[in-house]
Amino acid sequence: MLNIVLLEPEIPANTGNIGRTCVATGSRLHLIEPLGFRLDEKSLRRAGMDYWKDLDVTTYINYEDFLEKNPGAKLYMATTKAEKMYTQIRYEPDCYIMFGKESAGIPEEILVRHREDCVRIPMIGGIRSLNLGNSAAVILYEALRQNRFSGMETAGSLHRLEWEP
């Protein structure tokens, strides 16, 4: 099971959307405080729709608490400061993919300790970053693809409707 980690998220709608993506993919969501909202906020529930109740979510009081409660976790960090693209990593089935808060990303003092595990999504020059929910979906789905979408429905079907003119 893959894990998405949000370090100090600020916008409830982004967290709600990411929560919904986690439910749809069977991934866990980890929220590291302080949060820029309360977990019972209406906008958070709206973005996560009726899926929020099905979400496997854990909160931590700070980054150190997260590390202490997840010893040995393979952690990748999404940042515009990374040298490697997110497609250049081999994601383990139980890895953790961390994203920083919307206004500042992951603090550089954390990134420098994990330089080899930092990944970026390519963008044209002059663009600061993608939306947090979009970034999480892009990298999560690459990790899922690499793990052959294990446990997921990978094919749909169309139902032909017969009608008379």
Find out whether 97 is annotated in a ligand binding site.
no
Find out whether 124 is annotated in a ligand binding site.
no
- Do the Cβ atoms of 58 and 30 come closer than 8 Å? yes
How many other β-carbons are positioned within 10 Å of the β-carbon of residue 112?
10
Task: Identify the H or E element spanning 22.
Answer: helix 12-25
Find out whether 150 is annotated in a ligand binding site.
no
Closest CA to 140 of 104, 102, 96: 96
Strand partners, 76: 97
Binding site for S-adenosyl-L-methionine: what residues are annotated? 100, 121, 129
Binding site: what residues are annotated? 100, 121, 129
